[in-house]
Structure 1
Amino acid sequence: MTNYGISHSEALDSVWYVVDAVNRTKGFDISYPESADEQQKIASGFARISSVHFSNCGGSIDGILIWILKPTLEDAKRADVSIVYGGSSSDLLAFEKSGLKQRLDRGLLAETKLVLFGDNAYLNSLYMATPFPNTSGGARDNYNFFHSQVRITIECAFGKLVQRWGILRMAMPRGITIQRTIAMVPTRLWDKLIGLAKVGQ
C-alpha cells in the first residue's frame, strides 16, 4: 500500500536516514560548555528570568523516563549502553552514572563557581543547589519558590521534547531495536537537555 506514490517502508527508511544524519552532525551535538564565558552566558540568561536575579545558576536539571522494552541479551551485548537502573530508580541514581556528573566531579563549574539547580531528588554539593526540605513559610520557603522559578526551565525543555517527538510519550514499538532507540534518544541526554535549558536562546 502506498500514499502519494511512496511506500510505508520507504517512508520509514527516510526517517532513519534523518535520525542517523542528525547523530552524525557535530553541529547538533549539544553539550554543556567547558568554556567559562559560555557558562556565564547561561547564568546571565537564568538571572534574567529570576525575580530575585540568582547570579549563580548555571543550569537546571531533572530526569526523564524513556519507556523501552527490555532488550534481549544479544541486543545488550551489541549496544554501547549501560542500563544500570530501572525506571523506578531515583533521578539521583541515574545522575550518579551520567557523563555530566563525571564532568562536574572533574571541575566543570569550578572556575565560574556556578551551580545547577535541581529538585530534592538531588543532593546539595559544590555544583548542585536544591530546595530546603520540609518548609512552610519564612525565608527558606521563599527561597524554594524562587529556586523553582528557574528550575522549571528543564521541565519545559522536557515538555517541548516530548511534544515535538510524540514517540517519546509512549513505549517504543516492538519493531524498534535497542540500537535504534539509542539513536533516537542519545545516551548523552543529560548534557543535551542542560543545553536545551539555556535561557533566551
Structure 2
Amino acid sequence: MALRYFSGGDPLDIADLHGVADDEVLNSVWDITDAIHLTPEMNITFPETYHDQIECAQGFKVKSRIDIECCVGCIDGMLVWMNQPTSKDQKVIGFGPTKFFCGQKKKFGLNMMGVCDSQRRFIWVKVNMPGAASDFYAFDESVLKQKLEATGFLRPCLCLFGDNAYVNSTYMCTPWRNVCQGLKDSMNFFHSQVRINIECAFGILVHRWGILRKPMPVNISVGEILSLVLALCKLHNYCINKKSAVDPPCEADVANIMMLGGLFLPWMDNSKDAYWEYNSRDRPNELLDGGVHMDDHTEAQRRQYRHDLDKPCHKILAEVIRMGYERPDYSRDRLQAGEDEL
C-alpha cells in the first residue's frame, strides 16, 4: 500500500483495492517510513574518508569524456511541492508563510538540496529551507558547506559540481558565465556532461515516486513531509543498488496526479514498455531551477570567493586548453536549436 501511495496513488483507490479502511493506507505509509529510517544500511552519507571521496571521483571520471577526476558529487536543488502551510507548519522550520512560496515556479513548497554520486544515488540530502530560498542561500546555511570549508575534510583537488546558482570556490565548480563559444564554452559542455547526473537523479526520483509530481496532501504536516521525502531518497538509492527499473505508472495513478493539478510527463506517461529509463524530455522543469535567483543574498556574498586560489574551474579550463578539447558539433547544433525555440 505504501509503495503505491509513494507512486502517486489515490489513498481511497488503494484502500478499496486492498479491502481496508481508508486510514489504514496512511498507517502503512508511516510504518514503512519509520522502518526505512530505522534501517542503518539505508542511511544517506557523504563520503568522509579520502578513500571514499576518491572512489566517488573515479566514478565521475569514467562518465566524463575528458576524464574529469575532481568531482566528488553533483549538487542542485528541487522544489518539494506542497499546499500552503499552516501556522503550525511554519514553526517547524522557522519561516513565515510567504517564504514557502517559490516565485520562480508559482508554487508553495520546500527547497530540497541534494548531492549525488555518478550512479545518481543521493549522498547528501537536506530539506530544511522554504521554497522561496535560493540554492545559494540553502547551501550557504548547510552543515555540508561548513564541513567542506573545514581544513582536511575534503581531499585536496576535489570539489562539488553545481550550476550557476552556486559560485566557484576551492570546493565548488560551476560553469563560466556569459559565454557561448570558445574554450570556456567547451569547458561548460564537459562540466555539464558531469553535472547532469544530479538532474537525472531528481528526475528519476520524481518519476519513480509520483507523489512528488503533485502537491503534498493537506493532511501531511511539514514535519511529516521532511521525513517522507528523506525516506523516498533512501528508497531511490536502494532501487539503484538493486538495479530496479523505473516502471511506468498505472493509468489510475496518472489520472489521480493530473486531477490534482500535478505534472504531466509525456515520455513516461505515454510509455507502454515494461522497462523504462529516464529521458531528458521528461525533465521535471516545474520543480527544478526554482532556487536560481538572488532574492535572499547579495552580489557581495557571492564575490567573497572570487579571490580563492586553486579553483577547480581554472584547472579544468587549463586542461581543455592544453588538450584542445572542443564542444562537439552535435551539441552546438542542439544548443542553437534550443536558443532559437526560446
Residues of 2 paired with 1:38 and 1:63: CA distance?
24
Q: Which residue of 1 aligns with 2:85?
A: 71
Greater relative contact order, per chain length (Cα 8 Å cut-off, separation 6+): 1
Q: How does 1:58-97 map to 2 (within 5 A)?
A: 58-77=72-91, 79=92, 81-83=93-95, 86-97=130-141
Check 1:110–1:139 CA distance in 2 against 1; reply closer, same or farther (3 A cut): same
- Structure 1, unpaired ranges of 5+: none
Q: Residue 37 and residue 112 in structure 1: after superposition, are their counterparts in 2 closer, same or farther (change >3 A)?
A: farther
2:135 and 2:166 in contact (8 A); partners too: yes
1:49 aligns with 2:93: no
Output the CA distance in 2 between the equivalents of 1:110 and 1:176: 37
Q: Secondary structure of the residue that 2:147 maps to in structure 1? A: helix
**Rounded Cα–Cα distance in structure 1 between residues aligned with 2:27 and 2:130:** 31
Instruction: Mark the structure with the bigger radius of gyration.
Output: 2
Q: Say yes or no: does 1:32 pair with 2:46.
A: yes
Q: Relative to 1, partners in 2 of residues 1:71 and 1:107: Cα closer, same or farther, differing over 3 Å?
A: farther
Rounded Cα–Cα distance in structure 1 between residues aligned with 2:46 and 2:225: 23
1:7 aligned counterpart, secondary structure = coil
Higher strand share: 2
| 1:139-178 correspondence to structure 2 within 5 Å | 139-178=183-222
**5+ unaligned residues in a row in structure 2: which ranges?**
1-14, 100-128, 244-342
Is 1:23 paired with 2:67? no
Q: Tell whether the 8 Å contact from 1:71 to 1:178 is kept in structure 2 after alignment.
A: yes
CA displacement at 1:145 relative to structure 2: 0.2
Separation of aligned partners in 2, 1:108 and 1:26: 26
- Aligned-CA RMSD value: 2.6
Name whichever of 62-71 and 135-144 sits farther off.
Answer: 62-71
Q: 2:73 is paired with a residue of what secondary structure?
A: strand
Residue 47 of structure 1 contacts residue 53 of structure 1 at CA under 8 Å; is this kept in 2? yes
Q: Counterpart amino acid of 1:116? A: L
TM-score normalised by the chain length of structure 2? 0.51
What percentage of residue pairs aligned between the two structures are identical? 43
Letter in 2 for 1:17: D
Query: Which residue is 1:9 aligned to?
Result: 23
Letter in 1 for 2:205: L
SS in 1 for 2:81: coil
TM-score, normalised to structure 1's length?
0.84
- How big is the shift at 1:113? 2.5
Structure 1, residues 139-188: CA drift from partner, whole Å, max 9, x if none? 1111000000000000000011111111112211111112211111239x
